[in-house]
Each structure stands twice: as structure tokens, then as C-alpha cells.
Chains A and B, each alone.
Chain A
Amino acid sequence: MRVAGLAARRLVGWALRPDVYPEPSRVGAEQTPHPVASRTIPRRASSFGPKLEEGRWHNLGLAATALDGVGISAERPFSFWRTVGRLTEARGYREGAHFEGGCIIPAVGGGICSLSDALFDLALRSNCTILERHGHTLVVDRGPKAPPRRRADATVKWPYVDLRFAPGRGVLRLETKMSSEGLVLSLKGSEQVEEASVEVSEPRITQEAGQRFAHTTITRRGPAHAPGLVTIGHDRKRVIVSPTRNCDTCHEDSCGRRRTP
């Protein structure tokens, strides 16, 4: 009920407050000649299984088609869900890997968080103001051999868990390109923007009610003309062991989430 209320409130906000949640607009490449920041989501082998991995890449490519050429300015902030739209099977999205309760389950539009992670990273590095961002609630403990991933992340859930950001001045243009290496996202600006550096603190582990939680802080060091350290957000994530099974290989039915991909 609470989720439905939040979703309804956000949808009403879209309809009644176009100044806060504007429709996405398109900007021509000639208006934004200066490269600002770039990020590649690499193709690599995953433990999700080939079907879910294929679905994930299909979803990433399909969502990226909605992002290409989108203009972002202070008057027209970027909103992930206003731009990409709902991830439904009827709109061509497939089942991809989705974390839920410590399991990898197939879900339509699964894997799209890679895109929101990359967009959040781009926004931080291009000195954008973060208007709305939500961190993931789970983090995977990869064991002592694998180094912990310290990266800025952002999760999305339609329509009320959104990623929104806007540049302080000028216009940014988001460009996407699918290549054999992966999905390349880049921001170009109407004026030169010095890239900021982003730091994620070493996770501090606490024990609460028998579960482990990792606490991190995301900070951004400003450009040379304003070299302050700005705290972007604090995250508190439940630590789970790395899932080695998904619905392809797990035969547990009592979880209630099991679906055959």
C-alpha cells in the first residue's frame, strides 16, 4: 500500500509539476561540442547465466536508445524514469538478472541498474547537482580474495525511486553508443567543464540484529577553481554473500520468487 502511494504521488507530480519533472528534450550535437565525461559499461562474463545476461544487455541497449541525444540543463533536469519510461515486456524489455532478498531472480528490465550506476557516476564527475539519488540496499561480499568494489551507485525503481540531476550552468548532451566492448555513455557540454574526482570511503562494517551492514560515504572533490570536498551521500547496505545460484540452477520453490527464465 505504501509503495502504491509513493508511486501515485510521483505520477501525480509528473502531471502537475512539469517545472520539477519536465519532459525530456533533445539537443543537437553541434550545440554541445565539448567532451565532459565518459564511462563504459563493459561486457564481461557474469554468474547470472547466459539467458539473464543476454536479457540484461538487451535491456541496457533498449534503454540506451531513449537516452541518446537527451539535453540536460538547470531548467530541464535529467530524470531517469521520465526519459527511459516504464520497463515492461510490452515495450520490448526482457527478463534480466535482478537482486532480491539475496537471490538473483529473473525480472523484466533486470540489469538496468548498471545504467543508473553509470549515469550517476557521469553526473558526479561532470559536477552536476544531484537532485535525487537512492543507493542500493544490498552489497555483495566477494570474499577475502576479491577486492571490494568501491564505486558510486544508484538504484532505480519505477516510478518513485529515480535518479535526477542537472548541471549548474550550460547544457549537457547525453550520448550512448553500443560497441563490442560494451555500452559507452558520454556527456558533452555547451561549455568546458573540468572533471571532478569522486571518492567512496572504505566500508565500515557494523553488526545489527545479527546482520552485517556496510557504511560508506560518497564525496566529490570540486574543480581547481572551487576545490572543496562535498559529501554527496551516506549509504548503509546489508552485506550478503555472493549468490552462486539463480533460478536456472536453484531448485528451491519455497522462496516464492522462483521463476523459470
Chain B
Amino acid sequence: MVDDAPHEARARETRAFVVAPEPNDWLRPVLDALRQAGPVEVFAPWVLPRPLVPLGRRVGFVRRRDGDRLPGARGRGWFTAAELLLRGVARGKTAAALSNRVRMRALVDHAAAFRIARDPTPSLVVAPSLAARRSFAAGRRIGATCLLVEDMPDFDSLVDGLDALATALPQATFLRNHRPGPRAHARQRAERWQADVVGVRGRVAWQRIGGNKTRVQIPRTAFTAVGRRGRDVLFAGPPLARCGSAHLPALLNALEDVTIRVLPGPCSEPPSLQNHPRIQVHRSADLDGIGAVLSLSALESHPAPVARALDAGVPIVGTTASTGVVTPTSILRVEDPTPCVLADALRQALSGHAPRPQPWQAPQRLAQYVVESSCTLETNSASAPSVRTSVPTT
């Protein structure tokens, strides 16, 4: 006699297992898409217990406040302790914060793989970049389909772009310091090799990543707040050289009646921007008083103001790489941002003659893929080898 019935029941029950190493904007819409096909379980060790949510808001864990509503998610004390320790070590430095982010994702990956191996029921494992390698290996062992969510920039393109920018702007020291390690590059490429399906955010990533894999577009949360239109220009991203802020002084000279708002950050490049009378810090999440959004990064960045402008219909002036979630014909493109070209594009945007930005639509979206492939996933789940050992009854 064997007792496999509970295991089989659970196999039918749990379908998708989502690894969420940190609160992220893709999490909610991805869960909505996955729920169309079946039950979902989220592995999110950063979740705060419900009684602690108000306290968490006070001590700075603002992004964690919705975590207790994720299906199956349970906070882990060891994770919070490790995160606090690494935060203390980083002391607010950007390069150290990036390293910590990579480390925490790897830690979550280890824990999620252990969890999958202990309870091998999912037929679909969804994991984001740098938190997928071991989860996918564990998922593969039980015959699950592996879906990679590319929620971080492509490191190879990022570092190549930063190198090129550092050569062009030798005074911008940040460009030489901000680098992921070689092992993070390798890890990102390995995860793409292991994945069955690659989910990307926008058009630029679609062109660069996973050409020989099944690819889907990851949905994003729509921005609903609507503010009054104004004549200020919002610079997307922090005022740093990698985001194209080196062009701002010349642009301010060319446009004498325009105020540029920048997002708050630890510093500004060039430093003279901080004292310029027509530079303001934009601390609000909405686009109140904004007439155009300027996104000049030469790197794939998808800054949040671009996504908000897309939903609010605010004109966008920018490079192809940074505005990669938008249809290129619906923005005012400036690939080589000289002051004259930038000023002309911004005048056109502020005068109301710019095209309305349109979101880019991938050939296949995540929800569509999940619904269409649900039969395949069922088959995979049924053929997955039973990992639990049968125990003979006496």
C-alpha cells in the first residue's frame, strides 16, 4: 500500500509559485494574470505580520505594507534581520545598496529553492532576475515550467553603456563606481538559459533578451492619479550623469522660461544644478503642474515618471533606451541630445503639439500566455516525477 493521495491532491491544488524577493510593481498585476489559470502561492520573506504593518510604516519599511495580503506569503524574521544588517553595512551608499540587492535576491533564491524541494507541487515557477537560478533548478527537477521576470536592467548592456558614458563624461565619478559584479552578470545570463519563458517589461528589453525563448510582456500597474497640466518639465530619474543630467545646464540656458523639476536623490551631477534657481525638487508621485517629461538616459532604465506620463497622457521627450516601454512613434525622440534639439522638442511638447504617448504592446502578454498554456502546464504537472517517497503501511 502506498499513501500518495495527499500529495496528488496538493499537486492539483497549487499551480503557480511566485518568488518575490522584494516588493515590486510587477507583483500585483502578475498575480492577477496568474490567478486566471489557478491558485497562486507567493514566497515573500520580507512580508511584515499584519500587527506590525503600522510600525513598519514608521520605521521606514513603507514598501512592505501591502505584503500581508499576498496569497500564501509569510514573513521571515531571519530575512528582516539580514536585510537590516546589510542596510547598516551599506550606510546609504548606492553601489553597496546595489550589491546588497543582488545578495538579498540570491538569499531569497536559496530559500525558495529549498521550499520548492520540500513541497514539490507547483507546475509553474515564476521568479525575477537574480532570484531564479536555484528556484528554476528545483522547479525543473519536479517538471515545472520556469518563467523569468526580467525586472532588472540587462547588466551587459548597462555596464557597456556606463563605460561609454564614463569615457564621455570623465568628471562623473558615479559612472565608474556603480557596477554589478561579474558573477551577477553570469547569474543573469544563466537564468535566461534556464528559463522556459522570459517576461520583459518593454520594447527595448524585448529586442535584447531571450530571442530563442518564448517571451511575454509583463503587465504593470496603471497610474491613476491625474493632476492639472502645467508648464514645468519633469526630469525622469535622479539628477545623475547616467540619467543624462549633464545636458540640463545647457538646456536651462536655451529655455529661459521653463522650470525643470528633478526627483530627490543623494546628490546631483553636475553639482551646480543644486543651486540653480530654475531647478526644483519634485517630491510628489503625481504629475501635477507638469507639461512634459524628459527622459534622457542612454541606458535601459524605464523610470517611473515615464510610466506615469504614459497613463496620464503627458508628452514625453527622450531616448529610445530609457523610454523603452513606449511606442517610439508616440514620443519626441532625441537620441543625440544637443541643447538646440532638446529645446525644440520641449517647446513642441509644451505647446500641446506633441503626440500622445502610447504604451508598447508585445506580440504576447503574460495573461494571454497563462490562459493559453494552462493545458500544457497541467500535462507537465501530471508527468512530474513524484519526489516524496512512498511509505509502505504495515
Interface assignment of A69: CB less than 8 Å from any CB of chain B: yes
A 1-40 to B, binary, CB cutoff 8 A, 1 in contact else 0:
0000000000000000000000111101110000000000
The CA-CA distance from A91 to B109 in the complex, in Å, is 11
Q: Number of residues in B with C-beta < 8 Å to the partner?
A: 22
Question: Total contacts A to B, CB within 8 angstroms?
Answer: 52
Answer whether residue A74 sits at the interface, using C-beta atoms and an 8 A cutoff: no
A93–B134 Cα distance when bound, in Å, is 10
| Partner among B140, B160, B186 whose Cβ is within 8 Å of the Cβ of A66 | B186
Question: Looking at the complex, which one of B137, B140, B141, B159 makes contact with A28 (CB distance below 8 Å)?
Answer: B159
Binary contact track B111-151/A, C-beta < 8 Å → 1, others 0: 00100000000000000000001101110110000000000
Residues of B within 8 A of A109 (CB): none
Q: Is A139 an interface residue (CB 8 A)?
A: no
B277 at the A interface (CB under 8 A):
no
Contact A24 B182 (CB under 8 A): yes
Q: Name the one of B137, B190, B194 contacting A89, with C-beta atoms under 8 angstroms.
A: B137
Q: In the complex, A90→B190 CA distance in Å? A: 13
* Chain A contact surface mostly: mixed
Annotate A84-104 by CB proximity to B: 1 below 8 A, 0 otherwise.
Answer: 000001111110000000000
Q: Which residue of A lies closest to B162 (CB)?
A: A28
In the complex, chain B residues whose CB is within 8 Å of the CB of A69? 156, 182, 185
Q: Is A68 an interface residue (CB 8 A)?
A: yes
**Bound state CA distance, A70 and B185, in angstroms?**
10
Q: A89 contacts which chain B residues (CB < 8 A)?
A: 137, 141
What range describes how many residues of A lie at the interface?
20 to 34
The answer to whether A61 has its CB under 8 Å from any CB of chain B is yes
Out of A26, A66, A70, A90, name the residue touching B113 (CB < 8 Å). Answer: A90
Q: Mark A206-235, 1 if CB is under 8 A from B, else 0.
A: 000000000000000000000000000000
- Please give, as numbers and ranges, the residues of chain B lying within 8 Å of A28 by CB-CB distance: 159-160, 163
Nearest CB on B from A3, distance (A): 25
What separation, in Å, do the CA atoms of A175 and B183 have in the docked complex?
Answer: 15
Is there an interface contact between A62 and B182, defined as CB atoms closer than 8 Å? Answer: no
B189 in contact (CB, < 8 A): yes
List the A side residues contacting B156 at CB < 8 Å.
69
Report chain A residues within 8 Å CB of B194. Answer: 62, 92
Q: What chain B residues lie within 8 Å of A66 (beta carbons)?
A: 186, 189-190
Q: Using a CB-CB cutoff of 8 Å, which residues 188-215 of chain B contact chain A?
A: 189-190, 192-194
Cross-chain contact A26 with B190 (CB below 8 angstroms) = no
| B160 and A65 contacting across the interface, CB-CB below 8 Å | no
Considering only CB atoms, which chain B residue lies closest to A94 in the complex? Answer: B140
How far, in angstroms, from A26 to B163 measured CA to CA in the complex?
12
* Minimum CB–CB distance for B145 against chain A, Å: 15
Least CB distance from A57 to B in Å reads 11
B190-A92 in contact (CB<8A): yes
- Determine which residue in A26, A29, A30 has the highest number of CB atoms from chain B within 10 A of its CB, and name it: A26
Residues of A within 8 A of B190 (CB): 62, 65-66, 91-92
Q: In the assembled complex, which residues on chain A have CB atoms less than 8 Å from the CB atom of B140?
A: 92, 94
Assuming A65-B190, A90-B113, A92-B190, is B134 touching A30 (CB within 8 A)? no
Q: How far is the CB of B374 from chain A (nearest CB, A)?
A: 25
Chain B residue numbers with a CB within 8 Å of A29 are 160
In whole Å, how far is B25's beta carbon from the nearest beta carbon of chain A? 27
In the complex, the answer to whether A26 meets B137 with C-beta atoms within 8 Å is no
**Judging by beta carbons under 8 Å apart, are B137 and A61 in contact?**
no
Nearest CB of A to B383, in Å = 15
A90 contacts B137, C-beta separation under 8 Å: yes
Question: What are 7 A-B pairs at a CB distance below 8 A?
Answer: A23-B182, A30-B160, A65-B190, A66-B189, A70-B182, A90-B137, A92-B137
- Which residues of A does B touch, CB under 8 Å? 23-26, 28-30, 61-62, 65-66, 68-70, 89-94
